[in-house]
Amino acid sequence: MYTGRIIFSQLMDVIPKYEFRKIVAQHHGDYRASKFRCWDQLLCLCFAQFTFRASLRDLTATLDALGSRRYHMGIKHPVALSTFADANATRPWQIYQELAMVLARQALSLRDKDQGLEAITASVYALDSTTIDLCLSLFPWAKFRKHKGAVKLHTLMDLEGSIPTFIHISEGRTHDVNILDMIPILAGSIYIMDRAYLDFARLYNLHQAGGRFVVRAKKNMQFYRKSSRPVDRSTGLQCDQIIRLTGPKSKQRYPDDLRRVHLIDQENEQNIVLLTNIRQSNATQIASYYKSRWQIELFFKWIKQNLRIKTFYGQSINAVKTQIWTAICSYLIIVICQKTHHFSVSLHTMMQVLSVAILERMTLKRLFADQSLTESDSPYYNQLGLFDL
């Protein structure tokens, strides 16, 4: 009989302790903290994500009820509700932001190791945002609309592994296009975006930095056609053109040629016009790049359904950002465990199993060894399979 460490402790082994201690020291996170330190706060918040705790009172009551098992989780002292609330409100959320980026790099390194050097010469990213609704009377700092509050989660996601490489949390009224000034541009990489990110000055900066993009065009765009390539209309493609912008402002903001690909989405009966600076790929490949953007929509749907980011354990901006960042850390911990142990179980199934087995004494491999876990009756099985790295 296995008498080793509990499942939760094995999950938290993913976190590089030395890196975390350096981050905490840089932000003075444990200043005047005698018992409930940043590591304890992280353990508690990750436990809340894995076990679907609905509120801070629910979380602290559950931890108190665990008794001696709490010690085996790594939490040596009882957690008082007021102490936890104060930590969420005052400790820098940047600690958990930086930890999430460390875990994202760790997940990317595992993906690159499996794919080999030849497969990672050009990364493909999707950029999008999702809105998390908040009650304006409880979160007055989260300005969105007159009677509604919200925050936006802007995400740049690596499509090869469903791994977020850049995340920014802003007020709900922040326009998506402003995020183009913040994202890291890697020469040769491809950035897939919807029309909310159509800003020719910013796209030209991306082009000048060596990045490649595919973005959906707006209907009122002014241009003239310089040349055309033949397309197979049976595939839904309508035209493949080299164009030059003619609008009074747009032609100054993007003075180079652009490629315009027009296609019809036969499944949804939509006309889609794409703009790109990619010349080498054929039109079918450009269309497939844009189609792959739906993976980030599934990522947003997944985290809203499986992580606690719709109800919050505190009302301050610091508490909200701390909870969102620790939720992202929890997601990345699951991704890294799945990749490290080569589990064929979907992330959704892993979260469901962990929620009831988090305190069991068995190895992770034994927990997910049952072949029946790979079988799913869910109508969304194909979508959830995107997260099977």
Residues 331-346 have pLDDT tens digits of 999 999 999 999 989 9
Which pLDDT does position 4 carry in this prediction?
A: 78
Q: Using H for helix, E for strand and C for coil, what is the string for the chain?
A: CCCCCCHHHHHHCCCCHHHHHHHHHHHCCCCCCCCCCHHHHHHHHHHHHHHCCCCHHHHHHHHHHHCHHHHHCCCCCCCCHHHHHHHHHHCCCHHHHHHHHHHHHHHHHHHHHHHCHHHHCCCEEEEEEEEEEECCCCCCCCEEECCEEEEEEEEEEECCCCEEEEEEEEECCCCHHHHHHCCCCCCCCEEEECHHHCCHHHHHHHHHCCCEEEEECCCCCCEEEEEEECCCHHHCEEEEEEEEECCCCHHHHCCCCEEEEEEEECCCCEEEEEEECCCCCCHHHHHHHHHCCHHHHHHHHHHHHHCCCCCCCCCCHHHHHHHHHHHHHHHHHHHHHHHHHCCCCCHHHHHHHHHHHCCCCCCHHHHCCCHHHHCCCCCCHHHHHHHCC
User: What amino acid is encoded at 369 in this protein?
Assistant: A
**Per-residue confidence band for 383, with pLDDT thresholds at 50, 70 and 90:** very low
Mean pLDDT of 281-296: 92
**Per-residue confidence band for 123, with pLDDT thresholds at 50, 70 and 90:** confident
**pLDDT higher for 6 or 374?**
6
Mean pLDDT of 104-127: 73
94 neighbors 318 (Cβ within 8 angstroms): no
Mean pLDDT of 307-322: 94
For tokens 């592994």, what's the residue?
161
Q: How far apart are the first and last CA of the chain?
A: 31
Report the C-alpha gap between 181 and 185 in whole angstroms: 10
Residue 388 has pLDDT above 50, yes or no: no
Q: If you average pLDDT over every residue of the chain, what do you get?
A: 90
Residue 30 has pLDDT above 90, yes or no: yes
Rg (alpha carbons) of the chain, rounded to whole number = 23
- Number of Cβ within 10 Å of residue 198's Cβ equals 17
243 strand-pairing partners = 225, 258
Residue 97 has pLDDT above 70, yes or no: yes
Report the C-alpha gap between 60 and 177 in whole angstroms: 40
Domain map (residue ranges) of the chain: 7-94+314-387
Which pLDDT does position 386 carry in this prediction?
A: 46
Which pLDDT does position 323 carry in this prediction?
A: 97
Report the C-alpha gap between 273 and 216 in whole angstroms: 6
Mean pLDDT of 29-58: 94
User: What amino acid is encoded at 243 in this protein?
Assistant: I
List Cα–Cα distances, 386 to 23, 81, 154, 381, in angstroms. Answer: 32, 38, 20, 9
Task: Calculate helix-pair angle for 81-90, 317-341, nearest 10 degrees.
Answer: 90
- Closest by Cα among 34, 47, 86 to 319: 86
Residue 13 has pLDDT above 90, yes or no: yes
Beta strand 190-193 with 212-216 is parallel
Which pLDDT does position 187 carry in this prediction?
A: 92
Residue 222 has pLDDT above 50, yes or no: yes
Which pLDDT does position 375 carry in this prediction?
A: 55
For tokens 């069991």, what's the residue?
360
**Per-residue confidence band for 112, with pLDDT thresholds at 50, 70 and 90:** low
Report the C-alpha gap between 350 and 331 in whole angstroms: 11
State what percent of residues in the chain have pLDDT above 90.
Answer: 77
- Number of Cβ within 10 Å of residue 373's Cβ equals 17
Report the C-alpha gap between 173 and 151 in whole angstroms: 8
